[in-house]
Structure 1
Amino acid sequence: MSDLYAGTDLFSEFDRLQRQMASMFGGFPSSIRSGRFGAFPQINIGSTDESVEIVAFAPGVDPKSLDVSIDKGLLSISGERVAAQPQSTGDDMRTYAQERFVGSFRRVIELPEHADPDKVTARYTNGCLTVSIGKREASKPRAITVQ
């Protein structure tokens, strides 16, 4: 028998290593905008010359249950996703695995300094909440004429 397998279960060692790596990096996001693994809703953040664009992927959420607010440079998105009704209405159904998130949620995103909280629009289409935040005039790129 090889020394590699002597006295250890290889899969247990991989599991232990994965837990150690997750705990090592889980508490220290790589950037301000990084979220924890499995956070709901997942988000994309981008920028144009005119605005900061945030897309939150929230399928199955009633748009009326969403609350979007900005306070002290933080964008907060909160709401609730209810459980989908199962096809079977019998009382004999038992759930063995559930991968879809159900319940209340809240995501808070730190906005860049050039975001203008007075210029915000939000729309929900096809399970995606898009929040557009205009940039302050002083921070927009402008062409300078050389004389």
Structure 2
Amino acid sequence: MSNFYFPDDLFGEFDRLQRQMSSLFSGFPTSLRSGPLGAFPPVNIGSTDDTIEIVAFAPGLDPAAIDVSIDKGLLTISGERKPTAPQTREETRSYAQERFFGSFRRMIELPQTADPDKVQARYADGCLTISVGKREASKPRAITVQ
């Protein structure tokens, strides 16, 4: 006789386990360098041989109201988006509002090759572009064979 319990519906048990695991990890990002779906501002992250490039899409923000900082390998983008005044009549009631407003904070884990002393940020056309230089030791180099 076996000590294992096998339910009648094994696939149903797998579905239940998958739902439990999904709910357990639903608030966490899918990777260390990304955030949950719908996080503001949405970002694109890439790299070149010399830099790590982060582009945050944040239209309608005042560049002076955006804070960018790096601490212990985490790049933080924070600020506040003010609500826009509606251009509709008073009797119009809103039933859907997709534009985010309010305070935000977005944290991105940088790779160990990032050099926190080599950071540049610029805001143009609704995009915040942050370039983080890489450490010299981590850059590719050619080795001469003798």
> TM-score, normalized by length of structure 1?
0.80
User: How many positions carry a matched residue from both structures?
Assistant: 128
SS at match of 2:52: strand
SS at match of 1:91: coil
Write the deviation string for residues 67-96 of structure 1: whole angstroms up to 9, x where unpaired: 0001111100001111122223x4323211
Match of 2:54 in 1: 54
1:29 Cα offset (Å) = 3.0
> TM-score, normalized by length of structure 2?
0.80
Give the 3 Å change call, closer, same or farther, for CA 42–51 of structure 1 in structure 2.
Answer: same
SS at match of 1:26: coil
RMSD value, Cα: 1.8
Write the deviation string for residues 72-123 of structure 1: whole angstroms up to 9, x where unpaired: 11100001111122223x4323211101101110001111111000000000
User: Quick check: 1:119 aligned with 2:118?
Assistant: yes
Q: Aligned equivalents of 1:78 and 1:30: distance in 2?
A: 21
Unpaired segments of 5 or more residues in structure 2?
Answer: 1-18
SS at match of 2:137: helix
In the TM superposition, 1:1-147 aligns within 5 A as 23=23, 26-88=26-88, 90-147=89-146
1:20 Cα offset (Å) = 7.5
Unpaired segments of 5 or more residues in structure 1?
Answer: 1-18
